[in-house]
Structure 1
Amino acid sequence: MATNKNKQLSRRAFMRNTALAGGGMVIGFNLLQSCKQKVIVEPPVDLSLLDYKDFNAFIKIAENGVVTIFSPNPEIGQGVKTSMPMIIAEELDVAWNNVHVVQGKLDQVNFTRQVAGGSQSIRHGWDALRETGAKAKAMLVQAAANRWGIEASQCSVNEGVISNTINKETLGYGDVVLEAAQLEVPEEVTLKAPKDYKIIGNDAPNVDIDEIVTGKPLFGLDYKAEGMVYAAVVRPPAFGQKLKSFDATKAKDMPGVIDVVTIGEKARKLIEAQPNIAGILSSSDKIVVIAETTWQAFKAKEAIQAQWEDDTKMESTDDHNKALTDLLNGSEFNTMREDGNVDKAFAEADEIVERTYEAPFLPHNCLEPMNFYADVSDSKVHLVGPIQTPAWKAGAVSAMLDRKPEEIELEMTRMGGGFGRRLYGDFTLEAAEISDKIRKPVKVVYTREDDMNDGIYRMATKYKIKAGIKGGRVTAYHLKEAAVNSNMYGLIPHFFPAGAIENYKVDVASYKSNITTGAWRAPYTNFLAFAEQHFFDELAEILEVDKIQMRIDLLQKVNADADENIAYSPERMIEVIKTAVDKSGWGTKPSNVYQGFVNYYCHNSHVAEIADVEIENGTPVVKKVTCVVDCGIVVNPLGAKNQAEGGVIDGIGHSMYGDFNFENGKPLASNFDKYRLIRMKEAPEVEVHFVQNELSPTGLGEPTLPPAGGAIANAFKAATGNRLFQQPFTKNPELLKVKETKEIIG
């Protein structure tokens, strides 16, 4: 049903700026309910002179009918630069092939969430983006109606052409754009019903695909500016060290080297002023080679002779394992949720099942190494590069350099991967501090070794899960988490099986380490999904019940209406489960195919995955994964399928192979010769199905990754008889071998 919308975007929120010269109208709009007063600017002589910083995003319609949409959110490969403009174009009612998409800049006045993270861009922008397009369309239709002397209701629109339903005359958007720019923005508009969508729900290629495949400049590494120099940074070789002294004589004599300087003082002041930055920045001085090219900077960096001294404890993987084990066995926990009386239920249980699962640190390993451009001058600080949190980093640069926020100008480039690594922007701060010191435009570029050795890693984690069984059913459930530098409490306690088991408790504990940690694709759930879902499969075997039916039975006990903290929908979860069973041929495959099932909820979406494995040379090999997703309305099915497939393969690869260890504070892998990623020949077929409904969109960049590890682990158990408790699975290769059966005589 079409709806009238007037809840979130008022006339004040839907700002407008007209540009009459140059034949166009620019409408600024707010994705997330800005409250700035409406602004009218006198039209410039040249449209290019329009001061875009007053807007958070724009629709520009030229007299030839071409529509330009400025996309505000960072593009990290998740497709928002395509899908967000699609939403606007749908309600604007223009032909998608007539739309030109441009990346917007950071605008802290008019945006409230210019962030790529948490799979939230489409979810948060859905209503506002639609209303933006609908209000622009209403103004254009009204302008045409005024010219014809009829009511707007006597007009219809199709792909940017307005028709007079009385005498069949037509006008293009470009024909009336100048008059439309003079009109008041309407308070209320009618949004399309999903059945009337022409763009949403249809495949659209990535708007940057031509530039990507032809090598046009799009990414941070591509950015160049006049007079720009390059910087390579020598950082502490181990976590817990600081710079003692160095000799740069050889480096300064090398070709192309401009200077060798140190930075760190301003970063230390920032750490003191903003403690939330402390976890991603070293307090040590760093040595910086300034050169004419990246290669010259990298080679000169190798010639630096530096002396380092221990500043804090030099930790190894064994230290972390012991610390996490001690936490799990201790009593110092932060209880995140507690239902019923867990202790009493365990005391009365007929049987108790307890298992511990563990996963290592993981680097992000984006295809495009970290890099950023900065040009600090007396008048402004110009920043350009790939960043997931532009506002956060602009604020940090402002504080670090003691500059006014309005002096910071940040432009976003497309990112060659992020996965959470580019949330933190330590490279942005380095670039700004270097440019401030040398007063030249500079680009900091990491080598692959820099990227892996000075990363912000997924935290090493251990889970202890205990279940009590009484009378043939699960009556108690206790999840304990111990993680390194855990700082995201609250992501997990209200997910399944919360609400399904009457005595339920979630406890968390953190071990403080000097190794920098942070979000990694699908934070927390990327490993928790395997642990919990592998545990549920084992419970079903102990109870001698059907694995899938057990989950459905638990879901049917959930009363989400009575518990506002329950994050998931049991009804939607049951639907993805049943769809996955149907689409995967669960239980009907030939005897040489072993299947593993998982259902999971995260990032506001419900997913079920079923993995098919076969035995080759005594070892199970993943052949196919059937993935069913309920993420509401799918804006761009082509992009959505790519995201779902990528999440599954990423989840399989890191569950199987991802391992990253430390010795005395130093990473033991610095490149792909020692760090294993999934290979193309190891990637299985991924068959994706979306549940069709008319519910608002939810996350998709991350939700298909967490279930993948559990699905293949459960399939491996079916094939080998062995249970897995540690990632990566290849760390214990004997568990990936089929058990030999021995004949027992007499």
Structure 2
Amino acid sequence: MEPSNKINFSRRSFLKTSALASGGMLIGFNLFNACKQDVKMPVDLSTLNYNDFNAFIKISPEGKVTIFAPNPEIGQGVKTSMPMLIAEELDVLWDDVYVVQAPLDTENYTRQLAGGSQSLRLAWEPLRQTGATAKQMLVNAAAAKWGVNASECKAKQGVITNANGETLGYGDVVLEAAQLEVPENVTLKKPEDFTIIGQGTANVDIDEIITGKPLFGLDYKEEGMLYASVLRPPAFGQVLDTFDASEAKAMPGVVDVITIGDKAKAYLESEKPNWTAQLSKSKKVVVLAKTTWDAFKGKKAIRATWKEESALESTEFHNEKLNEILEGSKFNTRRKDGDVKKAFAQADKVLERTYEAPFLPHNTLEPMNFFADVNDEKVRLVGPVQTPEDAAKTVAALLGRNIEDITVEMTRMGGGFGRRLYGDFVYEAAEISDKIKKPIKMVSSREDDMTTGVYRPSTKYKIAASIKNGKVTGYHLKEACINGNMYGLIPNFFPAAAIENYQVDTANYKSNITTGAWRAPYTNFLASAEQSFFDELAEELGVDRVQLHMDLLENVKNNPDPKIEYSPDRLQGVLKLVVEKANWGKTAEGTYQGLAVYYCHNTHVAEVADIEMNNGVPTVKKVTCAVDCGIVVNPLGALNQIKGGVLDGIGHAMYSDFVFDNGVPQSNNFNSYQLIRMGQTPKVDVHFVKNNIAPTGLGEPTLPPVGGAVANAIYKATGQRLTKQPYMNNLQAKKVVG
């Protein structure tokens, strides 16, 4: 259903304007409906206090538009796509728009973060309303200047024209517009009238990125700051016992060696530690130096001993625990329709499989780092973090400071994937600076990131389906997970409501290994498991793989369930589109296809993987991807997100493994941990379902299903059902049997 173009809203809860003393109009807007209603806008841009506003646009007397973007940019493109929404309705030339990253504003925002592929979806109407309202005010001001009715005037590309052909630029009327009442009603453009939305638009930071100008946290520096490198326990379950820093202190460039951790331990033992505080209770040794390299070398010279505080767990131990959980009876039931036990008891056959996935590190291109300057008056934090508000609150609690003392400035991030949701690196930087009362920059090495970080939890799924008279009558999904997935399973995703007897159960083992969200949390492996299972289920039933899904989705349409989150029509739509575009079932000899269709993070996706066997080894040659994400705001950015998600999903499903031995990660860099290589990347062919539905996110939804599509294609080629990732470690047969 298309959204209404006529929008009604309260101006008090939405928009505030003021004239700037330097000329121009400042327009604040309610992003994500989070703007506080009593915030006063500043009157002079030169005196702006960033704690006094949320995000806003400024129109200069020259007609230039500056948009302050409040959400963290981690490569998902919101710093480009969100301003495009404003510029579209404001009706200005994109070349006249400047975008600036805003800092954290805890007074005026309630959702200033990056995660869950939600930013564009939640901003769709509020940001367009902002632009449309600003345009209407400018038109009203021009009409008043001409002495005509505003309905006789039109605005386009920053120029207002009346019925007589007279024109005024936005810059000519900004001061007058700022004095007008904010209109109660504005009319948003129809999709067919868009001139910016739907056009491929380059990243607003692209020039700075390719020329190496300072943008990222690692680029940030201040005069007089020291660099800090933190020596953390080498094994999960260990804490610091003793250390000798004499050799490190004698090294050139090393300024001092200190310990931190007391404040972190006290905070973690408090009643309500923040969920982002993935900190160790151990004391840590910190080397302070004049350069990053000096700090790294000094850390290697530290002679430390460690003692065991809790069990040093290994991957074999985790496997045993997850198996015990799956065979046990202590589960949390997330959804239960009908009677699964009865359906299984009456079945002609029950198909059951167990799927396994390892821990995975995040491995962002930019390692963790953060700047902190703590003194008696204030705490200033600068760097790349996905949860700046939580970081500020935790630092305030950690240091015993008032939240008003904390400021957070966000840099662009060299990757997040969920890792930078957790502010352990922020808290370490703050504690270091607090102890020495000097500005410092904490920088982790790649080895630090990989061995002392936060990981995707190791998970096992047991899936069972009952078959009676050639029909699926029951479906039971059990999850066993180290520490539990961040949100647990999503019980209202497909096949919820498609099968009469349906049950989802979850349980976990509590480990001292820190785990958390990893790109496409909870679905990144679940989709692979379920879509592999459905492929085998179709074969067991002797029915066409595509038809099985179409029939199950018809069940949902015939028996509507208000609890489900996916649209059966939209899932059928992407399935039909991918079958057509991938030439499903009609490829040349030697090419084997696998299919997966999935919904997550509000977006519907279907993918077909084409593989070939080269010297007995499966090679993914092409992935055809059909996506229903509603209106595509920025096709160029969308393609980047979709292709990146597909390649990321293939790489981790095929090659990436991460194990622990007595609490110690066995990989510490890319020589022992394999990501997808350039020569292993397939062509990704993307097709969008065209509609006028409000847009949804793309940073995560294309990753989960591709693992299932690849596994199903490998089965076609080798006859081997793969139930354990990474697939290449577990592929036994090396010959084609198809």
Aligned residue in 2 for 1:494? 492
| 8 Å contact from structure 2 (residues 42, 48) kept in 1 | no
CA–CA distance in 2 between the matches of 1:511 and 1:2? Answer: 48
Following superposition, the deviation at residue 48 of structure 1 comes to: 2.1
Between 513-522 and 248-257, the greater mean CA deviation after superposition: 248-257
Q: Any idea what SS the aligned residue of 2:732 has?
A: helix
CA–CA distance in 2 between the matches of 1:549 and 1:41? Answer: 58
State the aligned residue count: 735
CA–CA distance in 2 between the matches of 1:680 and 1:186? Answer: 54
One-letter identity of the residue aligned with 2:695: P
| 8 Å contact from structure 1 (residues 66, 99) kept in 2 | yes
Following superposition, the deviation at residue 511 of structure 1 comes to: 0.4
Q: 2:191 aligned with 1:194, yes or no?
A: yes
| 8 Å contact from structure 2 (residues 643, 684) kept in 1 | yes
| 8 Å contact from structure 1 (residues 271, 277) kept in 2 | no
Between 250-259 and 597-606, the greater mean CA deviation after superposition: 250-259
One-letter identity of the residue aligned with 1:678: I
| 8 Å contact from structure 1 (residues 92, 134) kept in 2 | yes
Q: 2:690 aligned with 1:688, yes or no?
A: no
Deviations 1:546-604 (A, max 9, x none): 00101100011004984221010000000000000011111111111111110000001
Aligned residue in 2 for 1:5? 7
| Correspondence for 1:217 among 214, 218, 227 | 214
| Correspondence for 1:234 among 231, 240, 248 | 231
CA–CA distance in 2 between the matches of 1:31 and 1:616? Answer: 51
| Correspondence for 1:337 among 307, 332, 335 | 335
Q: Any idea what SS the aligned residue of 2:241 has?
A: strand
Matches within 5 A, 1:348-359: 348-359=346-357
One-letter identity of the residue aligned with 1:449: E
Following superposition, the deviation at residue 233 of structure 1 comes to: 0.2
Deviations 1:647-674 (A, max 9, x none): 0000000000110000000000011111
Matches within 5 A, 1:233-632: 233-273=230-270, 274-277=272-275, 280-559=278-557, 562-632=560-630
Following superposition, the deviation at residue 17 of structure 1 comes to: 4.6
Give the direction of change, closer, same or farther, for the CA distance of 1:561–1:70 in structure 2 (3 Å limit).
Answer: farther
Give the direction of change, closer, same or farther, for the CA distance of 1:562–1:383 in structure 2 (3 Å limit).
Answer: same
Q: Any idea what SS the aligned residue of 1:16 has?
A: strand
Deviations 1:75-108 (A, max 9, x none): 0000000000000111111111110111111112
Aligned residue in 2 for 1:110? 108
Aligned residue in 2 for 1:37? 37
CA–CA distance in 2 between the matches of 1:41 and 1:35? Answer: 12
CA–CA distance in 2 between the matches of 1:372 and 1:35? Answer: 28
CA–CA distance in 2 between the matches of 1:491 and 1:119? Answer: 17
One-letter identity of the residue aligned with 2:725: Q
CA–CA distance in 1 between the matches of 2:653 and 2:306? Answer: 35
Deviations 1:188-216 (A, max 9, x none): 21111111111001100000000000000
Q: Any idea what SS the aligned residue of 2:182 has?
A: coil
Following superposition, the deviation at residue 226 of structure 1 comes to: 2.0
One-letter identity of the residue aligned with 1:29: F
The unaligned stretches of length 5 or more in structure 1 are 742-746
CA–CA distance in 2 between the matches of 1:626 and 1:17? Answer: 47
Q: Any idea what SS the aligned residue of 1:464 has?
A: strand
Aligned residue in 2 for 1:20? 20
Aligned residue in 2 for 1:744? none
Following superposition, the deviation at residue 36 of structure 1 comes to: 2.6
Aligned residue in 1 for 2:646? 648
Aligned residue in 2 for 1:127? 125
Following superposition, the deviation at residue 225 of structure 1 comes to: 1.3
Q: Any idea what SS the aligned residue of 2:288 has?
A: strand
Between 449-458 and 101-110, the greater mean CA deviation after superposition: 101-110
Following superposition, the deviation at residue 15 of structure 1 comes to: 4.1
| 8 Å contact from structure 1 (residues 370, 427) kept in 2 | yes
Aligned residue in 1 for 2:177? 180
Following superposition, the deviation at residue 35 of structure 1 comes to: 5.5
Between 458-467 and 17-26, the greater mean CA deviation after superposition: 17-26
| 8 Å contact from structure 2 (residues 373, 439) kept in 1 | yes
CA–CA distance in 1 between the matches of 2:614 and 2:34? Answer: 58
| 8 Å contact from structure 2 (residues 217, 383) kept in 1 | yes
Q: Any idea what SS the aligned residue of 1:724 has?
A: coil
Deviations 1:228-272 (A, max 9, x none): 110000000100001111111111111111111111111112112
One-letter identity of the residue aligned with 2:32: L
Between 101-110 and 560-569, the greater mean CA deviation after superposition: 560-569
CA–CA distance in 2 between the matches of 1:301 and 1:251? Answer: 7
| 8 Å contact from structure 1 (residues 499, 559) kept in 2 | no
Following superposition, the deviation at residue 39 of structure 1 comes to: 4.6
Following superposition, the deviation at residue 22 of structure 1 comes to: 2.1
CA–CA distance in 1 between the matches of 2:305 and 2:107? Answer: 46
One-letter identity of the residue aligned with 2:20: L
| 8 Å contact from structure 2 (residues 718, 737) kept in 1 | no
Between 352-361 and 481-490, the greater mean CA deviation after superposition: 481-490
Following superposition, the deviation at residue 3 of structure 1 comes to: 2.2
| 8 Å contact from structure 1 (residues 624, 686) kept in 2 | yes
CA–CA distance in 2 between the matches of 1:703 and 1:655? Answer: 15
Following superposition, the deviation at residue 487 of structure 1 comes to: 4.5
| 8 Å contact from structure 2 (residues 61, 172) kept in 1 | yes
Q: Any idea what SS the aligned residue of 2:525 has?
A: helix
Give the direction of change, closer, same or farther, for the CA distance of 1:739–1:616 in structure 2 (3 Å limit).
Answer: closer
Following superposition, the deviation at residue 280 of structure 1 comes to: 1.1
| 8 Å contact from structure 1 (residues 327, 482) kept in 2 | yes
One-letter identity of the residue aligned with 1:507: D
Give the direction of change, closer, same or farther, for the CA distance of 1:490–1:740 in structure 2 (3 Å limit).
Answer: closer
CA–CA distance in 2 between the matches of 1:487 and 1:647? Answer: 20
Following superposition, the deviation at residue 6 of structure 1 comes to: 2.1
Matches within 5 A, 1:596-745: 596-735=594-733, 737-739=734-736
| 8 Å contact from structure 1 (residues 573, 606) kept in 2 | yes
Q: Any idea what SS the aligned residue of 2:643 has?
A: helix
Following superposition, the deviation at residue 727 of structure 1 comes to: 0.1
| 8 Å contact from structure 1 (residues 560, 566) kept in 2 | no
One-letter identity of the residue aligned with 1:260: V
CA–CA distance in 1 between the matches of 2:691 and 2:489? Answer: 26
Give the direction of change, closer, same or farther, for the CA distance of 1:560–1:321 in structure 2 (3 Å limit).
Answer: farther
Following superposition, the deviation at residue 488 of structure 1 comes to: 2.9
| 8 Å contact from structure 2 (residues 198, 634) kept in 1 | yes
CA–CA distance in 1 between the matches of 2:298 and 2:558? Answer: 61
Aligned residue in 2 for 1:92? 90
One-letter identity of the residue aligned with 2:469: G
Between 52-61 and 627-636, the greater mean CA deviation after superposition: 52-61
Give the direction of change, closer, same or farther, for the CA distance of 1:36–1:561 in structure 2 (3 Å limit).
Answer: farther
CA–CA distance in 2 between the matches of 1:277 and 1:576? Answer: 36
Q: 2:202 aligned with 1:205, yes or no?
A: yes
CA–CA distance in 2 between the matches of 1:664 and 1:382? Answer: 39
Following superposition, the deviation at residue 53 of structure 1 comes to: 2.1
Q: Any idea what SS the aligned residue of 1:145 has?
A: helix
CA–CA distance in 2 between the matches of 1:110 and 1:116? Answer: 17
Give the direction of change, closer, same or farther, for the CA distance of 1:189–1:395 in structure 2 (3 Å limit).
Answer: same
One-letter identity of the residue aligned with 2:224: G
